[in-house]
Structure 1
Amino acid sequence: MGLRLQPVAPAQGWRWLRQGLQLWLQRPLSFVGLFVFFLFTVLLLMALVPFLGGPLGMALLPMLSLGFMIASKSALAGGPVHIGQLAEGLRHPVPSQRKAQWLLCGAYALGTMLVITLADWVDAGTFEDLQREMAAAGADGKPSAKLDAILADPRLVQGMLVRIGLAGLLSVPFWHAPALVHWGGQGALQALFSSTLALWRTRGAFLLYLVGWMGVMLVAGVLFSLLAAVTGASQLLGLMTLPIGLAFSAAFYASLWFSFADTFGGSPDTPAA
């Protein structure tokens, strides 16, 4: 695939979102299955490999985005969507490209660990305390005074801002990088630079794209909340939270191919790699 950075109009951001939803609706179970399989793999690693399971799971995240791009590209060409596509980047026939993907995975895991460590230092452990207290409150249904104190601690907000801000910055160089290695044959460092440059030049479209996804999820949440309030089926809403979250996550990842194809001139009609 010949790749060249293309000018992208801001309005394309909304189009990427719409195309991702349309593609997901064609293969909803297949795309959700990809995402569920990835989550299961990460949880299995965390359970079977103490201490290293978490970092290993985070290292696989670049392959999740690439796997969904490969699956989306395949689906658009009438091909299959299957779990083997999640590992396709690490099984590339060109050794240098396989090595570059492993380097990206390692760099992403290291970057994520640094973000978590810094955020934990900023919030002084209040985020972990919050998780424990929320789990305890969920078990007996009674909020505790300690939970109220944690929520009122300003360090919790500071730590969350650090997590969200640094995680967002970390995602910029990795957004297109795995795809640039896989289809463009770029090295790891070149792909990270190209991805950063591409997102900067298409920042208008990506801002609309991300805001659009947040808006769609917010509207869906409000509609389901209103439905639960009108029907009195609040427990049903709680049961639906997980499948709704999985569906939106799968649709979001399915839309990544369109942002890459428009940004670098890859044709969505070409056969899957």
Structure 2
Amino acid sequence: MALRLHTVAARQGLAWLRAAFATYAKRPLGLTMLFVVFLFSAILVLALPYVGQIVVMGSLPLLSLGYMIATRAVLGGGTAQPGHLVEGLRGDTRRRAALLQLSAVYALATVVILLLADAVDGGRFERVQLLLATPERTPSENAELDALLADDRLTWGLVVRFGLAALLAIPFWHAPALVHWGGQGVLQSLFSSTLAVWRNRGAMTVYVVAWVGMIALFSVAVGALFGLLGTRQLAGLVALPAGLMFTCVFYVSLYFTFVDVFGGDGADGRDALHRPPPPGTLSDS
């Protein structure tokens, strides 16, 4: 397939977000239901003893690819369907095997990261999550939470947990799409993805900063609005659907980060944000 690595301008990071929101607005229900279906499936899988959590973690590369396939369908005038989540596994045997191997590697790496983080913070992160989820904490629990938040081991555990997770995202950012549309093998796709993220680190930095800034501004605005209304406890009613929307838009944006960086030669690559790539550039098979 005619995939060629391009280095794009830093401002493209914002263009990816704009394109993702515009695409989501075309089929909000279908693209949201895609993630809802994944969530319900994950809940069922998590009920499996021992392997449930590992299987769910390993399914995240397939989720990102499924959203990219669905996004391409929406741009072509179609709809997002739950079948897009497993469409990558319907290809030829070699690509299916490569995608399953990617999923296994991702799950294994995630487990290692979680074990390392737990070893560093001694389970403090899980305890903080439990306390924060408690609606009415006792004075002793509030004191415990304050002590945990001031604990250096929790801080270093968070650094390990999120720092290594961010590093892991780099080789897997484009890898599923490179396997599905580019026919690359596991190691080649991981290397190509890492190289693409590095060469386009300016655009990726703008992309990440834009996401963080947008979510922070939204949180501040919602908090301020409900604070003025004296109903701060109702902010969660807005936070839940907004979080779902932002998650879906994020997964939609992955398609644009891919086609803009790995588009075909000349105009085919540069126009990737405005129309689906031509059949000779990216195929659905």
Answer yes or no: same fold by TM over 0.5: yes
Match of 2:75 in 1: 76
Runs of 4+ in 1 over 6 A off after TM superposition: none
Q: Answer yes or no: is 1:23 the counterpart of 2:26.
A: no
Amino acid at match of 2:80: V
CA distance in 2, matches of 1:262, 1:129: 42
Query: Normalised by the size of structure 1, how large is the TM-score?
Result: 0.94
| CA displacement at 1:197 relative to structure 2 | 0.5
| CA displacement at 1:141 relative to structure 2 | 7.1
| CA displacement at 1:139 relative to structure 2 | 4.7
Amino acid at match of 1:152: A
CA distance in 2, matches of 1:237, 1:131: 19
What are the Cα deviations for residues 123-164 of structure 1, in whole angstroms up to 9, with x where unaligned? 0111122123233x3255765322222122111111001111
Q: Please tell me the root mean square deviation across aligned C-alpha atoms, in Å.
A: 1.5
Identity %: 49
Give the SS at the match of 2:54. Answer: helix
Match of 1:214 in 2: 212
Equivalent residues in 2 for 1:216-255, closer than 5 Å:
216-255=214-253
**Structure 1, 79-88 or 53-62: larger mean CA deviation:** 79-88
What are the Cα deviations for residues 18-64 of structure 1, in whole angstroms up to 9, with x where unaligned? 111111111112111111211221121112x0121111000000011
Q: Answer yes or no: is 1:203 the counterpart of 2:209.
A: no
CA distance in 1, matches of 2:111, 2:199: 28
Contact in 1 for aligned 2:24/2:252 (Cα 8 Å): yes
Amino acid at match of 1:239: L
Amino acid at match of 1:45: V
Equivalent residues in 2 for 1:36-47, closer than 5 Å:
36-47=36-47
Structure 2: runs of 5+ lacking an equivalent: 265-271
Amino acid at match of 1:203: R
CA distance in 2, matches of 1:141, 1:22: 46
CA distance in 2, matches of 1:159, 1:257: 32
Match of 1:156 in 2: 154
Query: Normalised by the size of structure 2, how large is the TM-score?
Result: 0.91
Match of 2:56 in 1: 57
Give the SS at the match of 1:245. Answer: helix
Instruction: Give aligned pairs, total.
Output: 270
| CA displacement at 1:216 relative to structure 2 | 1.0
Match of 1:101 in 2: 99
